[in-house]
Structures are given as structure tokens and as C-alpha cells.
Chain A
Amino acid sequence: MKQGIPALLIIVLSLVGIVVINSAYIIDATEQVVVTEFGKPVGGPVQEPGLNWKLPFIQKVDKFDKRIMEWDGYPSEIPTADRKFIWVDVTGRWRIENALLYFQTLHNERTAQSRLDDIMDGITRNFITKYNLPEIVRSTNHIIELSQTKDDEDAHLDVEVERIDTGRDEITRKILETARKVVKDYGIELIDLRIKRIKYNDTVQKKVFERMISESKRAAEQLRSEGQGVLAEIYGQKDKDLKKITSEAYKQAQGIKGKADAEATKIYGDAYSKDPEFFAFKETLERYPDSLRDAKLLLTTDSDFLKYLKKVDA
């Protein structure tokens, strides 16, 4: 019998162990649990992390995440109010607010995710179709204020933009609010919801690209002809400046010369008019040598020079 004691001990210990393992459970800081007794929930969900106890074998523990979880929707093609077809991809963040309700209505996350898909897709669709594309793309009218102070550089990139009243921020907030009320029934709190991506559908995108291309081509053409325009303008300016410079210089030079002429004339006049007769006499005499060089001169004897030729006393 002696040798039976340790064996018995092992059996007892392992039985105790099995019971303990079956009645103790750990709740991680990221988890919460719902305890059920033959499928019937016992008490509320337990959120406090740590070591907990339950009735072994009878009670069962279902663990749920307590953290914020991701929901990433399927992109869906939705027409906007202005008949533009876009792909909208929405993402959200949620957590299990009421684990018991969540457990009862959805049971597990797979179901939850697909339920969220259905709910969000419907609500997103409802809202997107109500608004024009600019409302969904933009949040503010910043662009319009900007375009009023635009410079002409890159003018081809300026497109008419329409004023928005609601905007993306507000639309996503509305979707979030609506969806939040719906998912509450599943014990889910929707924390955030955002439009992750918006994209034109292929047909629209092709048209948009075509528009961008044609606008660019037009802009390129415009730039080229602007270049030629500026060229002509500069050449014109050059001709003008050239004529201005030369004519002004001519004008100034003539003025200077004229003034000098006038002054000289005045100086001569002042001097010579003191004795015009002497002036005429002197100036005339001075010119004779040059003028009469190589000339034939016929002098009569009554000239002053020859008068003495005839007689001494004239």
C-alpha cells in the first residue's frame, strides 16, 4: 500500500489541476469576456483584465477584443448627384461597446465585419448620391479664395471651381452619425469613419484625362504664342527706344549748336557793329588774297592803287 500513496497523490493533484484550469481564466488587457452557462449569459461582460474565476465545466467564456478595431470597406462605384461615377472606399474604426449584445447579435468578428460592410455601404451610398462631386472632394472653399488672387503662371491649371456648401468633412460626419446609430444595436461603437479613397471610374477618368490633356495643349500653344507676342513687343520697344534715343540726341545736339551759333552771332554782331565800315573794309581786304589767287585782274588807272601811276597828286 505504501507505494500507492504517491500515485494517488499524482491523480488527486492532476484532478485538482484540471478543475483549476477549467475555472480560472485570464483576461488580457486587450480583451473582454462574456461568461455563459449552458449558452445563457451570466452577468454582464467582464472588462477588467486579470485572473478571474468561473464555475468549471458548467460556465464557458467567450473572449472579445476590447481594442479599437479596423473596418475597411469594399470600394463601391457610386454616382454622385451630378451624375459622376466614382469609386468610394471608406474606412472606419470601431470597438465592441456592449460585448453581450455583440455576442448575441453577431457572435463573432467575421459576422460583425460583414454586417458593418452592409451597413456602411448602404449609408455611404445614400449620402454620396445626394451630393455633387465637388462637395465630396473638397471640405472648404479655400480654392475659390485662392483663385481670386491667382497669378497667371500655370494659368492652364486653373479650372472653374464651384462653391460648396457641405463639404467632405461634413458629409463623412453625417455618414458617421447615421451609421453610429445603426451599429449601436449590435453593441458596436463606431469611433470614426473616413473616406479613404475616391477615384473616378474608368470612363470618367478617361474624360478627365482628356480634358487635362487638351487644357495643357491649349496652354502650351498659348505660352508659345505669348512668347512670340512678347518677342514682337520687345522688338517694337527696341525700335521705339532706338528712334527715341537717336532723335533726342539729334534734337539736343542741334539745340546746342543753334545756341552756340546764336551766341557767336551775338558776339560778332556786338563787336563788328562798333564800326561796320571798318569791319567791311577789313574783312573784305582779308578775303582778297585767297579769292583773287590766279585771277586775271583788270585795273583802271583811276583805282587807288594806280592813281599814282598817272600823277602824284590826284
Chain B
Amino acid sequence: MEINLPNEGMPKIPPMKSTPLIFLFVILFVIFSGAGSLFYQVSADEVGVVQRFGKYARTANPGLQMKLPFGIETVRLIKVTHVFKEEFGFRTVQSGPRSVYAGREIDQNRSQNFRLNNRNFANGGDPFLEESMMLTGDLNVAVVEWIIQYTIKDPVQYAFRIRNPRETIRNMSEAIMRLVVGDKTIKEVLTQEREEIGYEVQRKLQEVLDSYGLGVAIQNVILQEVTPPDEVKPSFNEVNEARQEKEKVVNQAWEEYNRVIPKAKGEAEQLIRSAEGYALERINKALGDAERFNLSLAAYQAAPVVTKKRLYLEMLDQVMPELREKMFMDDAQKGLLPLLNLNQEHQGVEK
């Protein structure tokens, strides 16, 4: 240093002509580096939040845009039409585009700590289970996996209001899911109210994030797999099996019932119809007989004595040829002496 100071005439060493050349290089360098920071591109799904000396200046739309160079203006690109997704209790194996956020060193340390904690918390367990395992209002344990989808509705708020928005969204989503599930029974959580829980979490999460001025809109909170914990699952399945078994047994019983009863009903109907047939027959027969009697009575009354004799003789006409043996006896005779015994075969029978 001491030596250099008196040697102020350092430019003496290069020839005089080179000095304008250096200036030219400097100027060219300045121009190129300036041009490089002068233009920037905003993609179709983004907007650019431009800051001049750190202060918010304007929001730039998609396309090729200009800003003041040399760090006077800086730009942050924020994806406003992109639907961001956060998964809880599981992770899609092929990780999709991750939201870009400016992580600071301290943040990273922090999340490192957090992960370590997590491991403690889980007692060596599955870290995803730590996210998804929760207490229900009836003090049971349910494993709830869910996703949230959100968009950035206010890029300026999103850029400046909160540090590490993604972690805030994640933390609050977990807190609120547990708050909501904590007010339900395991039965509701497992079966009936999945959609309702989703809506409730969405509404409450939006409220909280709006209160921070985070500038995101929660599009969806969707419950994925909701199960009892693994340890309990077999016994829950057993309940389901028993329920199905019950239904099966009951169905079989009804099947038997349905097989027997309609048949019996048919048979009963048959019995009744045939009784009705009997009744018709009986009455018609009676009516017929009565009619016949009435008519013959009328005829008889016209000539009673003759008719009576005629009927009697007619009967004898029918009876006599059919008789096997006819015996005639004088009424004065007291013994049983046959007057006629013409039937030879009869003797064999008598013997």
C-alpha cells in the first residue's frame, strides 16, 4: 500500500491509446448487463409483482415486460392461475410442481427442527401418520387423509404479507381439520360426513387465512381415505363382516318366507274358490231338484191316484229285472215257503 501510493502513475505503464478502449469495455459491459436485467418474461399462468427499491410498484401481466435495470426494479413471478395442491397423510409418489417460495436460511433450519420434532412426536412412526392421525370428539382415533387445493387470489398480498405461505397453509389446514374432526364422532368421520367436514374445513381455513391476509383462495378440501388406525382395522372389518353376515341371514330368512307364504296364499285362495264352487253346485242342484219336484208335484196333483200307481209300476219296471231272487208268498200263509225258486245258482250260494 505504502509503495503503491507514490506510484500513482500506474496508468503510465499501459500506452495512452488503451485508455479509451477500457472505457469502451466498461460501457459495453454496463449496457449488456443492463439489458439483461431490463427485460423479463411473464408466463401465461403468472403475474409479475414489480418492486422499485423494494417497494411495490406494479403488477405485470403475462408477456415480455420491461423494468428498470441494475436492481432498481426487481420482479417476483407468482403463479396466479395455477391450482396448488397440498397433501396430508400421504404424498403422491411423483411429486408435481411445487409452489415456489423464498426460503430463508432460518426457515430451513426451522423446518429441519420441525422434522426432527416430528420424528420425536411419532416415536419413530410414519411421519405421514402424524399428519393424519387425529382424535375424534368421542375420544376415538381416526386416520384422515385429505388434500387441499388453492389458488393465489391476490399476488401482492401473497408476496408480501406472510413469510412461507405454504407452511402456514399446511399448519392451519392441519389445525383446522383437527378442530373440525374433534367435534365429530368417529362414526360421522368414517362414514357419513366426509363432504360436510371438507366444506367446514374449507370455510374455516379460508376465514383464518383471510385474517392473515395471505391472499389465497381455498378451492377445495377433499377427504381422501378415512380409516380407523391400523391396529383397530381388523376388528372394524369384523364388524362390517358381521353386519353383512346379519344381512345375509336376514335375507335368507325372508327368502324362505317369500317362498312359503305366497304359495300358501295361493292354496288358501284355491280352497276358498273351490268352496265357492261347491256352494254354487249345491244351490243349483237344490234349485234343480226343487224345480223338478215342483213340476212333478203339479202333474201329480192333476191326477193323484193314477200317477201314484203309474210311478209305482214304473219303479217296479226298473227294480224287478235287476233283482237276483224274487219270492212271492201268500199273505195267508204264515211260514216262509217259497212260491218260486227259479234261480239255480243261488243254491250254491246258500250252501
**Do A and B interact?**
yes
Interface residues of A (CB under 8 A from B): 3-4, 6-7, 26-31, 48-51, 65, 67-70, 72, 74-75, 87, 89, 91, 93, 109-110, 113, 133-134, 137-140, 142-143, 146-147, 154, 156-159, 161, 168-169, 191-192, 194-200, 202, 205, 208-209, 212-213, 216-217, 219-221, 223-224, 226-228, 230-231, 234-235, 237-238, 241-242, 245-246, 248-250, 252-254, 256-257, 259-261, 263-265, 267-268, 270-272, 274-275, 278-279, 281-282, 285-286, 288-289, 292-302, 304-306, 309-310
B179 touches A168 (CB 8 A): yes
B163 touches A70 (CB 8 A): yes
A252 touches B55 (CB 8 A): no
Of all chain A residues, which has the CB nearest B184? A143
Q: Is B297 on the interface with A (CB-CB < 8 A)?
A: yes
For residue B19, give the distance in angstroms from its CB to the closest CB of chain A.
5
Residues of A within 8 A of B23 (CB): 6
A267 touches B286 (CB 8 A): yes
Digit string of B99-123 for contact with A (CB within 8 Å is 1, else 0)? 0000000100110001001001101
For residue B189, give the distance in angstroms from its CB to the closest CB of chain A.
10
Additional pairs, 20, CB under 8 Å, beyond known A50-B53, A264-B286, A288-B318: A4-B11, A68-B168, A113-B110, A137-B136, A146-B185, A157-B186, A157-B190, A199-B133, A216-B232, A227-B250, A242-B260, A246-B264, A265-B286, A271-B289, A281-B308, A295-B325, A298-B328, A300-B330, A301-B330, A305-B316
B330 touches A87 (CB 8 A): no
For residue A192, give the distance in angstroms from its CB to the closest CB of chain B.
7
Residues of B within 8 A of A3 (CB): 9, 11-12, 16, 19
Which of B32-40, B58-66, B217-225, B267-275 contacts its partner? B267-275
> Out of A246, A260, A282, which one reaches B311, CB within 8 Å?
A282
B268 touches A159 (CB 8 A): no
For residue B286, give the distance in angstroms from its CB to the closest CB of chain A.
4
Q: Is B29 on the interface with A (CB-CB < 8 A)?
A: no
Residues of A within 8 A of B98 (CB): none
B329 touches A169 (CB 8 A): no
Residues of A within 8 A of B159 (CB): 29-30
Q: A133-B139, A146-B185, A252-B275 are in contact. Are A217 and B238 (CB under 8 A)?
A: yes
For residue B278, give the distance in angstroms from its CB to the closest CB of chain A.
5
Residues of A within 8 A of B254 (CB): 234
> Out of B55, B228, B268, B323, which one reaches A248, CB within 8 Å?
B268
Q: A156-B239, A231-B249 are in contact. Are A50 and B184 (CB under 8 A)?
A: no
**Quick one: which of B266-313 are within 8 Å of A by CB?**
267-269, 271-272, 274-276, 278-280, 282-283, 285-287, 289-291, 293-294, 296-297, 300-301, 308, 311-312
> Out of B19, B121, B256, B264, which one reaches A6, CB within 8 Å?
B19
Q: A216-B236, A217-B235 are in contact. Are A289 and B319 (CB under 8 A)?
A: yes
Q: Could you give 18 example pairs across A and B, Cβ below 8 Å?
A: A26-B54, A29-B55, A29-B160, A137-B182, A140-B183, A146-B188, A194-B176, A196-B171, A209-B229, A209-B232, A235-B253, A246-B268, A249-B268, A250-B271, A259-B279, A260-B279, A295-B325, A299-B326
A309 touches B250 (CB 8 A): no
Residues of B within 8 A of A168 (CB): 179, 182
Q: A195-B178, A197-B130 are in contact. Are A242 and B261 (CB under 8 A)?
A: yes
For residue B282, give the distance in angstroms from its CB to the closest CB of chain A.
4
Residues of B within 8 A of A219 (CB): 239, 242
B232 touches A7 (CB 8 A): no
A110 touches B106 (CB 8 A): yes
A300 touches B163 (CB 8 A): no
Instruction: Tell me the bound Cα distance from A161 to B135 in angstroms.
Output: 13
Residues of A within 8 A of B134 (CB): 197-199
> Out of B139, B163, B247, which one reaches A67, CB within 8 Å?
B163
Instruction: Tell me the bound Cα distance from A195 to B139 in angstroms.
Output: 16
Q: Is B172 on the interface with A (CB-CB < 8 A)?
A: yes
B184 touches A29 (CB 8 A): no
Instruction: Tell me the bound Cα distance from A196 to B117 in angstroms.
Output: 13
Instruction: Tell me the bound Cα distance from A235 to B299 in angstroms.
Output: 65
For residue B113, give the distance in angstroms from its CB to the closest CB of chain A.
8
Residues of B within 8 A of A274 (CB): 294, 297
> Out of B183, B231, B264, which one reaches A138, CB within 8 Å?
B183
Instruction: Tell me the bound Cα distance from A68 to B178 in angstroms.
Output: 23
B267 touches A260 (CB 8 A): no
For residue A145, give the distance in angstroms from its CB to the closest CB of chain B.
11
Q: Is B149 on the interface with A (CB-CB < 8 A)?
A: no
A264 touches B185 (CB 8 A): no
**Quick one: which of B2-38 are within 8 Å of A by CB?**
8-12, 16, 19, 23
A263 touches B139 (CB 8 A): no
Instruction: Tell me the bound Cα distance from A210 to B263 in angstroms.
Output: 51
Residues of A within 8 A of B287 (CB): 267
B183 touches A142 (CB 8 A): yes
Of all chain B residues, which has the CB nearest A254? B275
Q: Is B191 on the interface with A (CB-CB < 8 A)?
A: yes
Q: A113-B110, A194-B175, A297-B327 are in contact. Are A216 and B293 (CB under 8 A)?
A: no
Q: Is B82 on the interface with A (CB-CB < 8 A)?
A: no
A199 touches B121 (CB 8 A): yes
5 shortest A-B CB distances, which residue pairs?
A260-B279, A249-B268, A227-B246, A253-B275, A271-B290
Residues of A within 8 A of B329 (CB): 298-301
Residues of B within 8 A of A6 (CB): 11, 19, 23
Q: Is B56 on the interface with A (CB-CB < 8 A)?
A: yes
> Out of B174, B279, B297, which one reaches A257, CB within 8 Å?
B279
Residues of A within 8 A of B235 (CB): 212-213, 216-217, 220
